[in-house]
Amino acid sequence: MNDHTTLSRDSYAARSEVMRNRVLRNTYWLLALSLIPTVLGAFVGLNTGLNAVMATSPGLSVVVFLVGAFGLMFLVERNKNSSLGVALLLAFTFFMGIMLSRLIGHVLGFSNGSQLIMLAFGGTALVLGAMASVASTTKRDFSHWQKFLFVGVVILIVAAVANIFLQLPALVLTVSVLAIGIFSAFLLVDLQRVIRGGETNYISATLAIYLDLYNIFANLLMLLGIFGGDRE
């Protein structure tokens, strides 16, 4: 009886390990794939003038961003158990690339804009590597951070929308710095959830990690543009 119970437990543990590894592997592959439509979306935004339109209508841009992003995220989650979920996720990342083109166009206005973009990309990759390392090695459970981080994200959104009307440079800096910290912590939580088997759907896992990285990159690029942009 004891031998049978032990064998069943070992079998269950082995299956769980295989599932965790499969979800983690598929998540990383889909995350890498999602970069392609993001880049294409940014390219389309820059070459069709959409970035300029967004720059001249920031209020409308925020509405489009919120409706489009949350709408697509809802559809991705609704179809996460089918191949349609992958297509919707890639459509979402394409849309996010278009929305990012406004910031990229602004940074490319600097003589060192390309270098700043690469620096932001490298910094984001370093954060991903660091958080993945911590999530893989630590015994501490960070799942209880989620509620506090979610409240932080809501505050960031409210502050960012309010600053469209307030136009306070100090608030821009504050929001960007806090966003990098909050989404880096969210990245740690999301990665640990996948690594420990708490997330069994690789589409949902990819969506969460992509959003973390997107926000880290965008806010890091914002800060680099403010402090490192060269007009000469």
pLDDT bucket at 10, cuts 50 / 70 / 90: low
Q: DSSP secondary structure string, 67-80?
A: HHHHHHHHHHHHTT
Number of domains the chain contains? 2
Task: Confirm whether 155 is domain-assigned.
Answer: yes
Q: What is the pLDDT of residue 196?
A: 87
Residues 124 and 88 in one domain: no
Residues 51 and 117 in one domain: no
Place of tokens 């935004």: 45
Q: What is the pLDDT of residue 179?
A: 95
Residues 144 and 36 in one domain: no
Residues 57 and 75 in one domain: yes
Task: Confirm whether 199 is domain-assigned.
Answer: yes
For range 193-208, the mean pLDDT: 91
Q: What is the pLDDT of residues 109-141, one digit of tens each?
A: 999 999 999 999 999 999 999 999 999 998 898
Q: What is the pLDDT of residue 101?
A: 95
State the Cα–Cα distance between residues 172 and 162, nearest whole angstrom. 11
Residues 211 and 150 in one domain: yes
Asked whether the predicted pLDDT for residue 53 surpasses 60, the reply is: yes
**For helices 113-137 and 83-108, what crossing angle results, to 10°?**
140
Residues 103 and 131 in one domain: no
Phi/psi at 198 (5° precision): -75, -25
List, in order, residues 6 or more apart from 90 with CB less than 8 Å away. 33, 34, 37
Residues 167 and 232 in one domain: yes
State the Cα–Cα distance between residues 133 and 151, nearest whole angstrom. 26
Domain C-terminal end among 108, 134, 154: 108
Domain C-terminal end among 44, 73, 108: 108
Residues 192 and 157 in one domain: yes
Q: What is the pLDDT of residue 17?
A: 73
Q: Say what percent of the chain tops pLDDT 70.
A: 93
Q: What is the pLDDT of residue 166?
A: 78
Q: What is the CA radius of gyration of the chain?
A: 20
Q: What is the pLDDT of residue 14?
A: 56
For range 145-161, the mean pLDDT: 90
- CB–CB of 100/218 below 8 Å? yes
Taking all residues of the chain, what is their mean pLDDT, rounded to a whole number? Answer: 89
Residues 131 and 103 in one domain: no
Place of tokens 């608030």: 171
State the Cα–Cα distance between residues 224 and 227, nearest whole angstrom. 5
- CB–CB of 67/92 below 8 Å? no
Q: Which domain holds residue 74?
A: 29-108
Query: What pTM value is reported for the model?
Result: 0.90
Domain C-terminal end among 108, 129, 154: 108
For range 155-168, the mean pLDDT: 85
Task: Confirm whether 38 is domain-assigned.
Answer: yes
Q: What is the pLDDT of residue 5?
A: 59
Residues 56 and 104 in one domain: yes
Q: Say what percent of the chain tops pLDDT 90.
A: 65
Residues 181 and 128 in one domain: yes
Residues 151 and 89 in one domain: no
